[in-house]
Amino acid sequence: MLNYIWAFMIAVGVLYGAFTGNIEAVSNAALDSAREAVDLCITMIGVMGFWVGLMEIAKNSGLIKRMTRGIQPFVSFMFPRLPKDHAAREYISANLIANILGLGWACTPAGLKAMEALQELNEEECARNQGVHGTANAGAFGRPGFDPRVASNEMCTFLILNISSLQLIPVSVIAYRTQYGSVNPTAIVGPGILATLVSTLAGIVFCKLMDRKRRA
């Protein structure tokens, strides 16, 4: 769908430029945008390398492990039916920590692993319910039925937390502002913390309300 939208916007821009006699401006803008895209990619690669390197240092020093243990009460609160020794807990914790630190790129692998682990647990629970009951029944994740193609409550909760993404240091936005000549690139930190805090709290409330509604 996005491909069609972008293609439509480009076609409209080119046609408008041709009809108004500004086709040269369209060509210049396309070339300038291509150059800026390359410059931005180089900048973001440097920022990403820097922060991922810091993440590795924190991991090797044991800081990430301590932070992971520290947020386990929150993980248990948000995922009460997730077994305490399940691998998904570690992946979820790593993803949340990376998001909080603003390392959006570094949190992606952990997020994918968390979803895979939650889906495996979802399939196991669906198969167990199907074998025991033989008919549609509310599973341990509090949703009706046992179709593994339907996301569990835990999977939906994790996705919402990942999207709302509380961030203490919005690294990506700071890098963009630096690239485009902002006088004070870090001025976004305060508003960013406030905005993501509100979105995360809204996500937590929504998840709890929907989870209670499904189990009612």
Q: What is the pLDDT of residues 73-88, one digit of tens each?
A: 898 898 888 888 888 8
| Terminal Cα distance for the chain, rounded | 37
Q: What is the pLDDT of residues 104-138, one digit of tens each?
A: 666 777 888 888 888 888 888 777 766 655 544 44
Tell me the domain boundaries of the chain.
1-45, 62-215
Q: What is the DSSP string of 64-84?
A: HHHHHHHTHHHHHHH-TTS-T
Q: What is the pLDDT of residues 141-199, one digit of tens each?
A: 444 456 777 888 888 899 898 888 788 888 778 877 877 788 888 888 888 889 989 99
Q: Tokens 């690294």 map to which residue?
A: 171
Is there a contact between 164 and 203 (Cβ–Cβ < 8 Å)? yes
Total-model pTM: 0.67
